Amino acid sequence: MKKIYPSAAEAIFDLKDGATLVVGGFGLCGNPEMLIGAVHDKGVKGLTIVSNNCGTTDQGLGILLQARQVKRMVASYVGENKEFERQYLSGELEVELTPQGTLAERCRAGAAGIGGFYTGTGVGTQVAEGKEIRNFGGRDYLLELPIKGDFALIKAWKADPWGNLVFRKTARNFNQPMAGAARVTIAEVEEIVPVGALDPDQIHVPSIYVSRLVLGKDYRKPIERRTTRKS
């Protein structure tokens, strides 16, 4: 039950080259900033990263891409990262584009121990290439397989020492389905409260899915695309 680590660097002590990371966040909202920074500082290479997107050119997961630490990216959106575009078009980066809901469900299936599921999303498109297709009730569906990584890196708002997690508003995004979709789930949180302080009915991820905790601080919480009205 001793899940709290003194720093992000210590929480990823066993992360090695070639690992598969499933990472929470949506754009720059709800990113595990400290854990991403620790992965960057450790300098591990050949990573496969599963996430909604790869951040922006110089923020979020984009810093790992710039440092040439990422070999393969499984994502549903890649439109805000110029370096991603450059590496993909030059053949430096392997990319698997997956519909957003399918990506979330594949990770949820990995966490729940589900062997696969059928979805109508992607039928008749490139997404269907090489996948089993079955007909249910007169409609074709694709077989999608679960995603299970080596490490899940997620960001939560509050946790107790056991690892029960609560997310805050839209920062919940992909963090919840990623929790448990890996051999080791590491959560960085803004606050750790005593056991019993969290309302059991408000817990978004139970402690059974969480392996390690690290307390975050000094969050920048950058805005991906700032839009203002003319005065």
Mean pLDDT in consecutive groups of 10 residues from the start of the chain, 231 residues: 93 98 94 96 98 92 96 92 93 95 97 96 95 97 97 98 96 94 97 97 96 89 79 72
Average of per-residue pLDDT values in the chain: 94
For residue 18, give every residue at least 6 positions away whose Cβ sits within 8 Å of its Cβ, in sequence order, or none: 45, 46, 47, 48, 71
Spatial distance between the Cα atoms of 51 and 58, rounded to a whole number of angstroms: 16
pTM: 0.93
Spatial distance between the Cα atoms of 214 and 174, rounded to a whole number of angstroms: 19
**For position 230, what pLDDT does the model report?**
83
* 127 belongs to a structural domain: no
**For position 202, what pLDDT does the model report?**
95
* 123 belongs to a structural domain: no
Token pair of 211, please?
């392996």
Spatial distance between the Cα atoms of 176 and 61, rounded to a whole number of angstroms: 18
Helix (H) or strand (E) holding 83: helix 82-89
* 62 belongs to a structural domain: yes
* 211 belongs to a structural domain: yes
Q: What is the DSSP letter of 205?
A: B
Q: Quick one: which of 207, 199, 143, 202 has its CA closest to 179?
A: 207
* 65 belongs to a structural domain: yes
Spatial distance between the Cα atoms of 150 and 221, rounded to a whole number of angstroms: 26
**For position 221, what pLDDT does the model report?**
74
CATH, residue 202 = 3.40.1080.10
Domain that holds residue 191: 4-113+147-215
* 37 belongs to a structural domain: yes
* 121 belongs to a structural domain: no
Number of domains in the chain: 1
Q: What is the DSSP letter of 115?
A: -
* 192 belongs to a structural domain: yes
